[in-house]
Structure 1
Amino acid sequence: MGDTGGGHVRSHVHLCQVFDGFPEFRTAAIAFLTDGLARGNRVRYLADGDPDVLHAEIAPLERLPAAQRTGAVEVVSTGRSYAGPTACVDAQTQVEVYTRDTRTALADGFTGLRVAADVTMLVRTAAQLDAFARYEHQVDRFTARAPFSAMCGYRRSELGDEAVAQLACLHPGGSAAHAPFRMHATPGADVALSGELDLTTVDLFAATVDRVGLAEGAEEVVVDATGLDFADHRNLLVLERMADRYGRSVVLRTSRRWPARLVAALGLNRVRVEHHAASPLAVHAS
Structure 2
Amino acid sequence: MPHSGDTKPERHIRRSARGPDRHAHLCWWYRDPAEFLVRAKEFLAEGLALGQRVRYLGPAGPDALAAALGEVDGMAAALDGGAVEVASPEPGSPSDPVVDPAGQVAAYAEATEEALAAGYTGLRVAADHTALARTPAQVAALLRHEHLVDRYSVDRPFAAMCAYDITRLGDDTVAQLTAVHPDTNRPGQFRLHAAQVPGAAVQLGGELDLGCHDLLEALLAQLDPQPGGGEFVVYAPELTFIDHHGLLALADHARQRGATAVLRTACTGAARVVSALELPNVRVESIT
TM-score > 0.5 by shorter chain = yes
Counterparts of 2:128 and 2:228, CA distance in 1:
32
Deviation at 1:34?
0.3
Q: Match for residue 58 of structure 1?
A: 69
Q: Match for residue 4 of structure 1?
A: 12
Which consecutive residues of structure 1, in runs of 5 or more, have no partner in the other structure? 278-286
Counterparts of 1:71 and 1:158, CA distance in 2:
33
Aligned CA-pair RMSD: 2.3
1:199 to 210, 220, 234: 210
**Is 2:259 the partner of 1:251?**
no
**Is 2:189 the partner of 1:183?**
no
**Is 2:49 the partner of 1:38?**
yes
5 Å-filtered alignment, 1:1-286, equals 4-5=12-13, 12-61=23-72, 63-64=74-75, 67=78, 70-77=81-88, 79-80=89-90, 85-177=95-187, 180-185=189-194, 186-188=196-198, 189-215=200-226, 218-277=229-288
Deviation at 1:84?
5.9
* 8 Å CA contact retained: 2:22, 2:157: no
Counterparts of 1:246 and 1:64, CA distance in 2:
49
Counterparts of 2:212 and 2:248, CA distance in 1:
13
Greater displacement, 96-105 / 209-218: 209-218
Number of aligned positions between the proteins: 271
- TM-score, normalising length: structure 1: 0.88
Greater displacement, 108-117 / 49-58: 49-58
Cα deviations by residue, 1:103-151 (Å, 9 ceiling, x for unpaired):
0000111100000000100111001001101111110010111000000
Counterparts of 2:111 and 2:35, CA distance in 1:
27
Identity among equivalent positions (%) equals 44
The amino acid across from 1:234 in the alignment is: H
Counterparts of 1:122 and 1:174, CA distance in 2:
19
- TM-score, normalising length: structure 2: 0.87
Counterparts of 2:14 and 2:84, CA distance in 1:
30
* 8 Å CA contact retained: 2:27, 2:185: yes
* 8 Å CA contact retained: 1:62, 1:68: no
